[in-house]
Amino acid sequence: MGHQPLWKVIKLDDWAEIRHLHSTGKHSKREIARLIGVSRGTVDRALAEDRSPTYQREPTGSSFDAFAGQVRVLLAATPTMPAATAAERVGWSGSPSLFRAKIAELRPEYAVPDPEDRLVHPPGFQVQCDLWFPHEDLPLGHDQAAAPPVLVMTSTFSGFIQARMLPSRTTPDLLGGMWSLLQEAEAVPARLTWDNEIGIGRGKLTEPAAEFAGTLGTQIKLLKARDPESKGMVERMSRFFRSRFMSGRAFTSPDDFNQQLAGWLPLANNRLSRSRRGRPGDLVRIDRAAMRGLPPMAPEVMFRNSVRLPRDYYVRAFSNDYSVDPTMIGRVVDVAASLERVTVHHDGVLIASHRRKWARQLTVTDPTHVLRAAELRAQFQAQRTRRPTVTAVVEMASLARYDELFSVDIDAAPTVLAVAS
């Protein structure tokens, strides 16, 4: 009896009562044994055991034991071998879940561990950036629909979310999107983290991105491949946006999408974060107080191109053609495109301005440019019809010149009379 586990000789409530009676100091062990109805030895064991007499199942053998040796040999050679492959190699025909569980127990003995450092996020240090694409297309106008990228920026300290839909994932639009969100925050973190987005850089920053970071006085950090822990916070936003923002909404245009997104973000940033013990909308004050202010000079974030204006007086920006004042035909003009507008200048003077279109392969025309082109065309044609008649002037050579050439002396020459026969 003395060698049996305590849970076999005494109930849990009896064990608790024995310890209670003994703690009062009013009862001897013999009295406690009589009151509870157990032996004196059981009372001694109950008082000696600090842990409760809970049921413990005695270990028994497993059908896996016969295959354990072969599995260890396989794992020693290939620690990453999938459980299903190992099961085939050893001829396992039992429960797949049992085999996977046993493999999970053995694998750490052979596989080199991949430790994950505890990430510390001080205020103002890092903002994670990523692109999210809506799972449903929205109308872009002109009978076109697509799912443009949404730039999401999340502060690692406060969890504060900023987001904006962009016309494209090209470098100018990505930089323009970051700059617009940083202007809203009126603060610049020490680091902006990206996951090798081609418009920002893969392995090395693009020149525009490097210039952008230098102007802001910040660092754009490109993460290594297969390192989801470093920006998992912003990646989780994809599921959050899909379930909390997109559900039950309809959009008429990208502008409508951004307006609804701007109205929803304050609610998202008011959620309680248990890990941070606060709300992002409140913690962001501490976050931005540790950031630097906006630079005195705005970074270059626009698409730019210089072309000689052709006779059809249109320039191209992001697959669309935009009209320009036709009086500039033949001259070099400077084309610039922001997230909202496409502008054209000549020698610093604005000669065209259009709202940027999200649809593609369009011809965008300002009616005033068409009227001006018609006026210029009429003036050109009228000038051609009023052109004066030019009379050809033929210079008559002097006969004396020929006498001089052939050495003929007119005064000395004999007179020859022609007599008609």
pLDDT at residue 415 greater than cutoff 50? no
Same domain, 282 and 308: no
pLDDT at residue 7 greater than cutoff 60? no
Higher pLDDT, 37 or 221: 221
pTM: 0.66
State how far the Cα of 410 lies from the Cα of 54, in Å rounded to an integer: 155
Q: What is the residue type of 289?
A: A
pLDDT tens, position by position, 238-277: 788 888 899 889 999 999 999 999 999 999 999 998 878 8
Same domain, 254 and 133: yes
Same domain, 26 and 77: no
For the chain, percent of residues with pLDDT exceeding 70 = 83
- CATH code of the domain covering residue 145: 3.30.420.10
pLDDT at residue 391 greater than cutoff 90? no
Same domain, 283 and 312: no
pLDDT at residue 383 greater than cutoff 50? yes
Helix (H, G, I), strand (E, B) or coil at 10: coil
Range of the domain at 97: 70-109
State how far the Cα of 15 lies from the Cα of 51, in Å rounded to an integer: 10
Same domain, 280 and 364: no
Higher pLDDT, 190 or 65: 190
Domain membership of residue 184 (yes or no) is: yes
Closest alpha carbon to 317 in 329, 304, 326, 328: 304
State how far the Cα of 381 lies from the Cα of 289, in Å rounded to an integer: 67
| Residue 300 contacts residue 191 (beta carbons within 8 Å) | no
Rounded to an integer, the average pLDDT of 357-379 is 94
Q: Number of folded domains in the chain?
A: 4
Closest alpha carbon to 209 in 193, 224, 233, 185: 193
Residue 44, φ and ψ in degrees, nearest 5: -60, -45
pLDDT tens, position by position, 267-311: 999 999 887 889 999 999 999 999 999 999 999 999 999 999 999
Domain membership of residue 64 (yes or no) is: no
Same domain, 338 and 237: no
| Residue 346 contacts residue 334 (beta carbons within 8 Å) | yes
Q: Which of 289, 317, 338 is the last residue of a domain?
A: 289
- CATH code of the domain covering residue 38: 1.10.10
How many whole angstroms from its chain centre is CA 146?
Answer: 17
pLDDT tens, position by position, 320-333: 999 999 999 999 99
Same domain, 285 and 308: no
Same domain, 137 and 214: yes
pLDDT at residue 1 greater than cutoff 50? no
pLDDT at residue 420 greater than cutoff 50? no
Closest alpha carbon to 37 in 21, 57, 59, 56: 21
Domain membership of residue 267 (yes or no) is: yes
What was the pLDDT predicted at 421? 35
> In the beta sheet, which residues pair with residue 304?
336
Rounded to an integer, the average pLDDT of 95-110 is 90
What was the pLDDT predicted at 184? 95
Q: What is the pLDDT of the chain when averaged over all its residues? A: 85
pLDDT tens, position by position, 49-77: 766 666 566 666 688 888 889 999 999 99
pLDDT at residue 394 greater than cutoff 60? no
pLDDT at residue 418 greater than cutoff 50? no
